[in-house]
Amino acid sequence: MTKPESEWTWKELPVGNVILEPGNASQYRTGDWKTLKPVLNRELCIHCGLCYIFCPDMAYSLNEESFFIADLFYCKGCGICAKECPTGAISMVLEEEEK
Amino acid sequence: MAKRVGMEVSIAAAEAVKQANVDVISAYPITPQTHIVEHLSELVANGELDAEFFCVESEHSALSVCVGAAATGARTFTCTSSQGLALMSEITYIASGLRLPMLMIISNRTLSSPLSIWNDHSDAMSIRDCGWIQFFVENGQEVYDHVFVAYRLGEDRNVLLPVIINMDGFILSHVIEPFELIEQGKIDQFLPPYQPVHRLHPDRPVTMGAFALPSIFAETKKAQEEAIRSSMPKILETWKAFGDMTGRYYHPVETYKAEDADTLLVTMGSCSETASVAVDKMREEGRSVGLVKIRLWRPFPFEDFKKATLHARQLVVIDRAVSVGACGPVAAEVKAALYGEAQRPSVYNFVAGISGRDVTPSDFMKMVDKAEIQIEEGNKEGYEIYGVRG
């Protein structure tokens, strides 16, 4: 869809609210559920990818410098990545206290 | 005129479903609906009807199967009564929300408790707000006829809604009545194959019944509400086309000796025929009494109802269900319809004939007498359960 769902009028909805475009759940910002966000200490990271594997929302992806970084548009702040990180490189930080 | 044949109403209903050439039937047996599905299962088993017949483990599953089948573009049918409808109720809202046309015949029966198998409208009223187009028919011929009306109407691309035909359990379902059956060729012309707008198909995947956020839910409900409200012209058009084919014309609200009447009985379902006998008797006595019958329950025909009743001094509304703690649901609707009018008749409400207790012509006459006296004495908006001992 060309515009976000929250801007549709009732007349524009497909009959029965059928979803015609596959995969439109990717437009849903689950990132605004979180209070804590993961912050990576690159000094400690060993690039093992366990954060990427364990992330239940597949928010992690590999960047050009070979670090796994969480996409905060989707990250719900569950903290599983921080819990699983074998070197303690990920810490969960209150969003508003960042930096 | 076509030849008339005698047939049990449930059997005629099943024959109509066969003639409508349904693809999928899914139902669970419950009295007094059972004869309809029993006969359909025979028709499928002996090869007279080429359809899938699903024997399911509950009514919840029965309607769920219909929803799934309708989503693939199949013409589907189910029927139920009473507790079965209560168990289906969750799915009734889903069928209409997904805008899936299908037909359900409800052979109306009392909701427990106490446990009862007899007829009233408490089951239908329990799902009043489920978003289906809802008819209440008066006799067997109307059941048969409305099967074709329901499919053509519900499948219309400007409507796309499921349809319920309410017929009184036992009083209609188990009696033998005369029927004018319609030739198959005429039905095939009246009822073209269903062409869904969207359907579940691997070649063109879509998602139905997905989660909706608060940001889109209200818009979805508004679209559904507009669909059923604006189905009214299609309902009239479908009845007109059906009348042109058969000579039997139907209307949302029908009247009998009502035009000049001071007092109007208001009824829904099979008791309308009995009420018309009472009207004849009272007319013979020189009394100014008529009858207004509501055939279309949802969308409620507010304008037609007002047109039929505003000239009267009083309405005697007969309900076949109780909205416990309020009044009869038909009376509530009637009062809502009239509220905006400066000059409106008084509305006296009787709940009568619950759980199959007979309501005879003399009962209707007694109710009219009592309402007229009560209104004369100033009790203009009375409500009572009729004929209760003690």
CATH code of the domain covering residue B197: 3.40.50.970
For residue A4, the model assigns a pLDDT of: 77
Q: Which of A5, A8, A18 sits opposite B198 (nearest CB)?
A: A18
Q: List, as one string, the DSSP characters of A9-71.
A: -GGGSPGGG-B-STTGGGG--GGGG-SEEEEE-TTT-----HHHHH-TT--EEE-TTS-EEE-
HEC sequence for B292-335: EEECEEECCCHHHHHHHHCCCCEEEEEECCCCCCCCCHHHHHHH
Contact B160, A16 (CB under 8 A): yes
Residue-level pLDDT at B297: 98
Q: Among B246, B278, B299, which residue terminates a domain?
A: B246
The number of helix segments (H) and strand segments (E) in chain B equals 13, 15
The pLDDT of residue B261? 98
Q: Are residues B328 and B186 in the same domain?
A: no
Shared domain for B298 and B227, answered yes or no, is no
User: Closest Cα of chain B to A63: distance in Å?
Assistant: 32
State whether B202 and B279 are in the same domain.
no
Residues of chain B contacting A6 with CB distance shorter than 8 Å: 213, 215-216
User: Minimal Cα–Cα distance from B228 to chain A, Å?
Assistant: 13
Please check whether residues B95 and B229 belong to one and the same domain: yes
Residue B390 placed within a domain? no
Q: State the Cα torsion B151-B157-B162-B168 to the nearest 10°.
A: -40
Does B198 contact A15 at a Cβ distance shorter than 8 Å? yes
A32 touches chain B (CB under 8 A): no
Q: Same domain, yes or no, for B181 and B317? A: no
A56 touches chain B (CB under 8 A): no
Is A17 within a domain?
no
* B219 min Cα distance to partner chain A (Å): 4
Q: Which residue of A has its CA nearest to B204?
A: A20
Q: Among B8, B6, B122, B89, which Cα is nearest to B357's?
A: B122
CB contact under 8 A, A9 and B219: yes
Min CA distance, A27 vs chain B (Å)? 12
pLDDT tens, residue by residue, B24-72 = 999 999 999 999 999 999 999 999 999 999 999 999 999 999 999 999 9
Contact check, Cβ <8 Å, B160/A15: yes
Distances, alpha carbon B281 to alpha carbons B36, B278, B284, B308, in Å:
36, 5, 5, 21
Q: Are B85 and B127 spatial neighbours (Cβ–Cβ below 8 Å)?
A: yes
Please tell me the predicted confidence (pLDDT) of residue A6.
82
Instruction: Decide if A53 touches B, using CB distance below 8 A.
Output: no
Output the pLDDT for position B309: 98
Q: Is residue A15 part of a domain?
A: no
pLDDT at B207: 93
Which pLDDT belongs to residue A98?
Answer: 53
Question: B214 at the A interface (CB within 8 A)?
Answer: no
Q: Is residue B293 part of a domain?
A: yes
CB within 8 Å: A13 and B223: yes
Kindly give the parts of chain B with pLDDT less than 70: 1-2
Q: What is the pLDDT of residue B101?
A: 98
Task: Please give the pLDDT value at position A28.
Answer: 84
- Domain extent at residue A39: 29-97
CB of B149 within 8 A of CB of B238? yes
* Same domain, yes or no: B237 and B301: no
In a domain, A45, yes or no: yes
Count up the domains in chain B and report the number.
Answer: 2
| Residue in B closest to A13 by C-alpha | B220
8 Å CB contact of A13 and B216 = yes
Question: Which one of B176, B211, B246 terminates a domain?
Answer: B246
Show residues of chain B in contact with A16, CB under 8 Å.
97-100, 160, 198, 208
Contact A18 B206 (CB under 8 A): yes
How far apart are alpha carbons B372 and B387 in whole angstroms?
Answer: 17
Q: Residue B11's domain spans which residues?
A: 4-246
Asked if B198 and B278 sit in the same domain, the reply is no
Same structural domain for residues B236 and B264? no
Interface A-B, measured as beta-carbon pairs within 8 A, has a size of 53
Looking at the structure, tell me whether residues B35 and B179 fall in a common domain. Answer: yes
What ipTM did this prediction achieve?
0.84
- Select from B198, B205, B226 the Cβ nearest to the Cβ of A14: B198
Inter-chain CB proximity A16 and B198 less than 8 Å: yes
Please tell me the total number of residues recorded for chain A in this structure: 99
Find the residue in A nearest to B95 (Cα): A16
A20: number of CA atoms within 13 Å, CB side? 11
Written as one letter, the residue type at B84 is: G
**Is A41 inside a domain boundary?**
yes
Say how many domains are in chain A: 1
The reported pTM is: 0.92
CATH code: domain of residue A43? 3.30.70.20
Residue B268 and residue B232 share a domain = no
In this predicted structure, what is the pLDDT of residue B3?
82
- Nearest CB neighbour to B223, from listed A5, A10, A20: A10
Q: Does A10 contact B210 at a Cβ distance shorter than 8 Å? A: no
Residue A88 inside a domain? The answer is: yes
What stretches in chain A show pLDDT beneath 70? 1-2, 97-99
B199 and B54 in one domain?
A: yes
Residue at which a domain ends, from B246, B281, B315: B246
Burial, B247: exposed, middle or buried (Cβ in 10 Å; 0-12, 13-18, 19+)?
exposed
Amino acid letter, B102? M
- In angstroms and rounded to an integer, the radius of gyration of the C-alpha atoms of chain A is 17
B187 with B277, same domain: the answer is no
